[in-house]
C-alpha cells in the first residue's frame, strides 16, 4: 500500500476518500485544488499543505484525482506525463488521463461532505493501464473496503448507468413524491418505513421478485384512477404512465 498520496480535489468524493485514508494511516502528502482557499479546511483536517493544481510537481507519490468529470481531461493535461495517476469517476474513460500510467479508482457510493461514508463493504472498482498499478490500487482499496474488484471500461460504464438509475433516479422519485404529499398537507415521513422496507427486500430476493403494486398485479382500475388524479400534473402523470408501462411489460 502506498505510504502517501497526492490528492487533486476538495469536493465530496475527495473529502470522504481523504478522511477515510487518513484513518487507515495513508498520508495525504498534499491537496491540490483549483481554489485552495476552499480546500484549506480539508487540508487543515488532514494536516496537509494545500496548493494550486498548476503547482503540481513533476515527481511525487501516486495521485488520486477526485474532481468533476468534465474537468478530468483538462487538469490531467496540465500534469507531468510521468506521474502515476487515477481518477475516481464512474463515467469517464481511463484514457481521458494524459499520463503514461493511468487508472480508475471508483468508489461506488453517493457522497456528501457532512455525512461520513461507511467504507467497510463499499465497492471499489479498479481499472489500470498496467497490472502493477492495478495491484497498487487494489492494496489501497483494501485498506478501506473488503469489496475491491477489477472491472473493464465497458463494465464500469454499464455499472455507472445502473448506479444512476438506482440512486439518482430513485432519489428524484422521492423528491416528486415529497412535493405531491406536501401539496396535499402531508410529508415524506409517512413513506419512510415503506422506502426502507423496499430497499431491504433486495437483501433476500431479486428486484423482480420484490415487485408489488397495481402494475405488477394488472390492476387497471387503480392505474387509471391514479392517472386521473394526476391530470393536473402532466409531468408526473407521464412519468407514472411510463414506469407503469415498463412494469407491465416486464411482468407479463
CATH of the domain at 234: 1.10.1040.20
Strand, coil or helix: what is 120? Answer: coil
Domain boundary among 151, 171, 186: 151
Q: Which three cell numbers stand for residue 27?
A: 498520508
Asked if 104 and 128 touch (Cβ cutoff 8 Å), the reply is yes
Last residue of a domain, one of 151, 181, 210: 151
Tally of structural domains, the chain: 2
Q: Are residues 23 and 100 in the same domain?
A: yes
Same domain, 139 and 245: no
Sort strands 27-33 and 102-107 into parallel, antiparallel or unpaired.
Answer: unpaired
Residue position matching grid coordinates 463494465: 155
Same domain, 176 and 118: no
Based on the fold, state whether residues 45 and 143 are members of the same structural domain: yes
Same domain, 127 and 169: no
List Cα–Cα distances, 34 to 9, 30, 125, in angstroms.
8, 13, 26
The CATH number of residue 116's host domain is 3.40.50.720
pLDDT for res 38: 85
pLDDT for position 114? 79
Q: Assess whether 116 and 165 both reside in one domain.
A: no
- Judged by DSSP in three states, 61 sits in coil
Per-residue model confidence (pLDDT) at position 2: 52
**pLDDT score, position 246:** 97
Angle separating helix axes 220-229 and 234-250, nearest 10 degrees: 160
Across the 252 residues of the chain, what is the mean pLDDT of every consecutive 10-residue run?
84 94 94 92 94 95 96 96 96 95 96 88 96 96 96 94 96 97 96 96 95 96 97 96 97 90
Are 147 and 22 members of one domain? yes
Indicate if 73 and 168 belong to the same structural domain.
Answer: no
Residues 130 and 203 in one domain: no
Structural domain ending residue among the three candidates 122, 151, 180: 151
134 and 174 together in one domain: no
What pLDDT was estimated at residue 252?
86
Domain range for 218: 156-250
**Residues 109 and 205 reside in one and the same domain:** no
d(CA 95, CA 86): 11
Contact between 78 and 58 (Cβ < 8 Å): no
Name 126's bridge partners: 105, 150
Q: Are residues 58 and 43 in the same domain?
A: yes
Amino acid at each position: 500500500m502506498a505510504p502517501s498520496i497526492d490528492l487533486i480535489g476538495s469536493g465530496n468524493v475527495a473529502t470522504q476518500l481523504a478522511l477515510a485514508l487518513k484513518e487507515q494511516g495513508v498520508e495525504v502528502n498534499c491537496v491540490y485544488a483549483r481554489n485552495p482557499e476552499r480546500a484549506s479546511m480539508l487540508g487543515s483536517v488532514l494536516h496537509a499543505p494545500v496548493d494550486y493544481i498548476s503547482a503540481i510537481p513533476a515527481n511525487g507519490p501516486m495521485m488520486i484525482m477526485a474532481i468533476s468529470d468534465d474537468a478530468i481531461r483538462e487538469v490531467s493535461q496540465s500534469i507531468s506525463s510521468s506521474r502515476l495517476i487515477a481518477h475516481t469517476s464512474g463515467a469517464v474513460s481511463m484514457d481521458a488521463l494524459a499520463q503514461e500510467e493511468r487508472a480508475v479508482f471508483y468508489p461506488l457510493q453517493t457522497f456528501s461532505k457532512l455525512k461520513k461514508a461507511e467504507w467497510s463493504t463499499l465497492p471499489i472498482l479498479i481499472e489500470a493501464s498496467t497490472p502493477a498499478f492495478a495491484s497498487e490500487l487494489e492494496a489501497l482499496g483494501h485498506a478501506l473496503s473488503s469489496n475491491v474488484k477489477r472491472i473493464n471500461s465497458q463494465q464500469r460504464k454499464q455499472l455507472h448507468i445502473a448506479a444512476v438509475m438506482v440512486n439518482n433516479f430513485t432519489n428524484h422519485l422521492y423528491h416528486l413524491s415529497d412535493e405531491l404529499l406536501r401539496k396535499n398537507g402531508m410529508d415524506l415521513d409517512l413513506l419512510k418505513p415503506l422506502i426502507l422496507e423496499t430497499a431491504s427486500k433486495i437483501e433476500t430476493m431479486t428486484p423482480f421478485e420484490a415487485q408489488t403494486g397495481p402494475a405488477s398485479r394488472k390492476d387497471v382500475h387503480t392505474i387509471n384512477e391514479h392517472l386521473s388524479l394526476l391530470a393536473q400534473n402532466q409531468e408526473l402523470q407521464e412519468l407514472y404512465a411510463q414506469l407503469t408501462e415498463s412494469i407491465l411489460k416486464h411482468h407479463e
